[in-house]
Structure 1
Amino acid sequence: MSSGVSTSTDKNIVDRSRSHRNKAVSKAVRATRERLQSNANGSQVFDRDMLAMHVTAVLQAAAVTPLVVTLVTAIGVYINPDAHLFAWALLMLCLHSVNVLVARRASRVEIGAGDIAKWRRRFIVGQVLVGCGWASFALQGCNTCGGDSFYFYKGAVLLFAVSYTAMSNFMLRQSMLYGFMPMVLALLSLALTSGQVLDIGLTAMCAMAVVFFHYIADRLYHSNLTLISYQSEKDDLIAELEVANSMSDEARRRAEEANLAKSRFLASMSHELRTPLNAILGFSEVMSSEVLGPLANPTYKEYAGDIHRSGQHLLNLINEILDLSRIEAGRYDLTEDALSLLEVAEDCIGMVQLRARAKNITIRDQFERHLPPIWADEKSMRQVILNLLSNAVKFTPQGGEILVKVGWTAGGGQYVAIKDNGPGIPEEEIPVVLSAFGQGSIAIKSAEQGTGLGLPIVQAILAKHDGQFILRSKLREGTEAIAILPSTRVLQSVPAVADAPSIERRRKSFA
């Protein structure tokens, strides 16, 4: 009793969890589609990832800016020995330290969805401060320098600063424009104040460099955003695949357990059902044949015959279900031996001949004689032919005809074909009648309905023999069922090998 309760509980668990798991999978798919559809206006999904990558880049390149500032200061002091460059270098190092400290703090805390904008503003303010440092460098002058060497030095340093900042901070959008706006404004004020062509040219060149590198940084940002979206898609699909695999494994495990439980149930119930059925069949046959004396009421004799026929039908149904369950469970073993397909077909025709005569049906045979034996299970092959003949007799109308053929196939195998001139089967219903418990519309309307297991059993038995089953039918033209055994099942006759003494005598006679 407890096992039944656990089984029902197990089924409830499977049915209820399946919907929840499907919801989780569909939710993952929707999230993936939203990320794939994110563009420049809807890229907030990956803002946290981009901000984390910017923090990592700042921390990894923390030592590069001090080296650049030191190198720029050394070259500047060589060109213009002025103490202002040392003050500028100290200012740049302090501003850079502020940015590094902010990045280090951001790396130690968990940035939530609501804190992304706040941290982005902090980093942009830090870039603006660094830009103010570069603006102070742009305002540097050299009264003792001759020629245009200092302008060339300052322009080269500013262009390097713009390009370096664009490459290192492209994951922080708008940092280029905000960061170098003070530098452009400082150069513009210097050009307007001095009115020199070199200052105007340097201002225009740096402004164009800021716009150009801002465009490059924006392209790099979108490219990196696309790569992150692809990575996210891959991760989501892998997670979805793992969920689907786990669901499939669980479903397969439960299906195997259910199939094993079904096989055990059928195996245990076969004895419990067959024992009372055999008693019912035996006693009903004794009563209908009046072995122990005549029945006083003729109606009782008719009832006894009905009981016997119903019990026989139920026993056949149990046998077919057990056969199909053994085949599906892979426990249908073949007892193979050499047999004649012609003899098996003739025996089966004799077994259904009485039923065919009751309906005035003619059974004709068309056999190819002298067929070699085949290697097969005689009981199984007899069941195949009997099932096909029984179906033909069942659906052939009064006065119809059934043709049974046995012969060679084109590939060297042997076949049994049974053709009737019954109502036939619509072509769209052939897959239905070949499935377990499947019945066509003609069979449903027939007075002699079957179980729908005969043809699936025939298919399975032939598959166990590496054979093939073909069903051809047209409405109002009849049906032809063909059971084919491969050439590997045909036993070709081999001449007997002479024994050793006869071979020795024949050798001496030739000598």
Structure 2
Amino acid sequence: MPPRSAIDADVRALMGRDGKRAAQKTVLEARQRLTSSSGTRAEFDFELMHDYAAARRGAALPMAAIVCILAIVASFWVPVVFSAFWAALVISSLLVVVLVARRFARSEPAKFNAAKWTTSFIAAETLYGIALSLLALCTVVANPSDVVPVMFAMVLVSIAANAVATHTLPHATLMSTLPVTATVAINLLLLGGTVNYTLAAVVICGEIFFLFLARQLYSSELETISHQSEKDSLISELEEARHMSDEARRHAEQANIAKSQFLATMSHELRTPLNAIIGFSEVLKSELLGPHHVPQYKEYAGDIHASGQHLLNLINELLDLSRIEAGKYELHEEAVSIIDIADDCRRMMELRAKAKGIELVFSTGDNLPKIWGDERAIRQVILNLMSNAIKFTPQHGKVTLVVARSGDGGQLISVKDNGPGIPDGEIETVLSSFGQGSLAHKTAEQGAGLGLPIVQKIMDLHQGRFDLFSKLRFGTEVIATFPRARVMDALAPVTERRNKLEIYSAAG
């Protein structure tokens, strides 16, 4: 596990990268807003013009049909030659707009130039608007009183159709509708009369209304594109975060594999000399080959033996924890009696308890059946719990070991002491790997802080539960509970099935 300082450094570096990335993103967005014709972002210009070109190409035939219908209707009041000429000129200018839109659709997005294409579209729309404005000449070639209503209707239809078709490019909307509006309104004002003045005012109001409508549609389209861009950005960031998470998990898995391989390799390399150290130190401590002439030699041999035993226990705990975390800790399950295992563990720990003057109390429930579990793992659970209790209990204290039924019909192992207890804020630390409480660290014997985490994981493998209750200066109680499903009397009875031959024989 890397030191906390290294983790903090990684966090600061990550935060620094995120802050730098956010600053770069802000600068980029500001630069795009300055170079964008829509005042937002450069890619929005492309989307808006793409929608404009698609709308113009898609509405080309309907618009041409509308122009033809208007020309046919107008031919009842104006000369056919003029209406046909006007329709041909408008359709030709519309064709120019469509050709520019098609050329835009075939262009490469990577080479997109917003200013260039905006100028091209506005020029084509201006030509189209001028062609439509020739409608005002109807009053010159025909009787004004007859053609004014028709001209008025044709203007409103043209303004509405063009405003809807070009709403994603506001300048194009203005240039395709303003010329015809201006010429017809001026023509009506020049003709004079209350009716013509009213119609001119309606045409101008219609132009303003449809420009406002086109602007609203443009704002709605721009908001939609903005939301879509934000969604795409979020998806991209989530995908990047997922890749980073996968990469981090892969590195963690590789580190875990390397750790397991290291422990597996070092276990043999460490245990072989450790066994020799423990064995020879025991020979020296016991003076099997003769008494020591210097008394300190015997004391030193005892220290060497105790240190070797401690180191061997630490290596065993590390290997057990590593196997459990790697999912390679296999349970060899059979029907076992928790009472018998607990009694063996009590006898093993009794000498340590007496050495500290600790009273060891053992209590069991009545008629407890066997459970289905791993005897070695359960023995390790009890030994770890009792060892911790004796370790943290002061001299002349008391440790109570209880094996009984749990409230849900399972069986529990309870170990309670009257030691210093654990502060509430340190319980989580005590239950973590290599974690030790402050008071326990000062008063207890040397340890690695792996006993309780190993107990937790062994209970998880047995589908059980582990609980720790502690109060400062009032001691600690730990309870390991095995589920009811592992109690042998909770299993369904096994019925013996008879084969068909036996059944037929019995029937005969």
The change in CA–CA distance for 1:433 and 1:71 in structure 2 (over 3 A counts) is: same
Residue aligning to 2:370: 373
Residue aligning to 1:509: none
The change in CA–CA distance for 1:495 and 1:116 in structure 2 (over 3 A counts) is: closer
Q: Distance in 2 between matches of 1:20 and 1:108?
A: 43
Instruction: Compute the displacement of 1:462 (Å).
Output: 0.8
CA offset digits 1:243-282 (Å, max 9, x no partner): 2222222222332232222222222221111111000000
The change in CA–CA distance for 1:307 and 1:239 in structure 2 (over 3 A counts) is: same
Instruction: Compute the displacement of 1:88 (Å).
Output: 2.1
The change in CA–CA distance for 1:68 and 1:311 in structure 2 (over 3 A counts) is: same
What is the aligned counterpart of 2:328 among 320, 325, 331? 331
Identity %: 46
What is the aligned counterpart of 1:296 among 293, 296, 313? 293
Mapping of residues 112-123 of structure 1, within 5 Å: 115-123=113-121
Letter in 2 for 1:316: N
Residue aligning to 1:506: none
Q: Distance in 1 between matches of 2:493 and 2:94?
A: 100
CA offset digits 1:326-347 (Å, max 9, x no partner): 1111111111122221121121
**Secondary structure of 2:76's match?**
helix
Q: Distance in 2 between matches of 1:111 and 1:466?
A: 60
Letter in 2 for 1:314: L
The change in CA–CA distance for 1:160 and 1:496 in structure 2 (over 3 A counts) is: closer
Residue aligning to 2:277: 280
Unmatched tracts of structure 2, length 5 or more: 1-9, 499-508
Letter in 1 for 2:248: A
Residue aligning to 1:101: 99
Instruction: Compute the displacement of 1:31 (Å).
Output: 7.0
Unmatched tracts of structure 1, length 5 or more: 1-14, 501-511
State the 4+ residue runs in structure 1 displaced beyond 4 angstroms: 18-35, 38-42, 111-114, 142-146, 493-498
Letter in 2 for 1:80: V
Mapping of residues 423-434 of structure 1, within 5 Å: 423-434=420-431
Instruction: Compute the displacement of 1:291 (Å).
Output: 0.5
Residue aligning to 2:124: 126
**Secondary structure of 1:63's match?**
helix
Residue aligning to 2:68: 70
Q: Distance in 1 between matches of 2:17 and 2:325?
A: 29
How many aligned residue pairs are there? 481
Residue aligning to 2:435: 438
The change in CA–CA distance for 1:324 and 1:143 in structure 2 (over 3 A counts) is: closer
Q: What TM-score, normalized by structure 2, do the two folds share?
A: 0.87
Residue aligning to 2:411: 414
Residue aligning to 1:238: 235
Asked whether 1:172 is paired with 2:169, we answer: yes
Letter in 1 for 2:284: M
Q: Distance in 2 between matches of 1:285 and 1:170?
A: 95
Letter in 1 for 2:275: N
Residue aligning to 1:135: 133
Instruction: Compute the displacement of 1:389 (Å).
Output: 0.5
CA offset digits 1:347-380 (Å, max 9, x no partner): 1111111111111111112221321111111111
Q: Distance in 2 between matches of 1:21 and 1:253?
A: 24
Instruction: Compute the displacement of 1:27 (Å).
Output: 5.2
Q: What TM-score, normalized by structure 1, do the two folds share?
A: 0.86
Instruction: Compute the displacement of 1:214 (Å).
Output: 1.0
Asked whether 1:314 is paired with 2:311, we answer: yes
CA offset digits 1:101-120 (Å, max 9, x no partner): 33233333346798313322
CA offset digits 1:93-139 (Å, max 9, x no partner): 33223322332333333467983133223322322222222221023
Residue aligning to 1:155: 152
The change in CA–CA distance for 1:386 and 1:77 in structure 2 (over 3 A counts) is: same
Q: Distance in 1 between matches of 2:292 and 2:416?
A: 43
Residue aligning to 1:504: none
Q: Distance in 1 between matches of 2:262 and 2:273?
A: 17
What is the aligned counterpart of 1:305 among 302, 306, 314? 302
Letter in 2 for 1:135: S
Asked whether 1:467 is paired with 2:464, we answer: yes
Residue aligning to 1:203: 200
Residue aligning to 1:364: 361
The alignment yields a C-alpha RMSD, in angstroms, of: 3.1
Residue aligning to 1:50: 48
Question: Is the contact made by 1:32 and 1:233 (CA closer than 8 Å) also made in structure 2?
Answer: no
Q: Distance in 1 between matches of 2:390 and 2:224?
A: 70
Mapping of residues 233-272 of structure 1, within 5 Å: 233-272=230-269
The change in CA–CA distance for 1:160 and 1:33 in structure 2 (over 3 A counts) is: same
Letter in 2 for 1:208: C
Question: Is the contact made by 2:363 and 2:402 (CA closer than 8 Å) also made in structure 1?
Answer: yes
Instruction: Compute the displacement of 1:145 (Å).
Output: 5.3
Question: Is the contact made by 1:73 and 1:89 (CA closer than 8 Å) also made in structure 2?
Answer: yes
Question: Is the contact made by 1:402 and 1:419 (CA closer than 8 Å) also made in structure 2?
Answer: yes
CA offset digits 1:189-214 (Å, max 9, x no partner): 22332212332222111111111111
Instruction: Compute the displacement of 1:311 (Å).
Output: 0.7
Question: Is the contact made by 1:124 and 1:178 (CA closer than 8 Å) also made in structure 2?
Answer: yes
Residue aligning to 2:59: 61
Residue aligning to 2:6: none
Question: Is the contact made by 2:173 and 2:211 (CA closer than 8 Å) also made in structure 1?
Answer: yes
More moved, 478-487 vs 256-265: 256-265
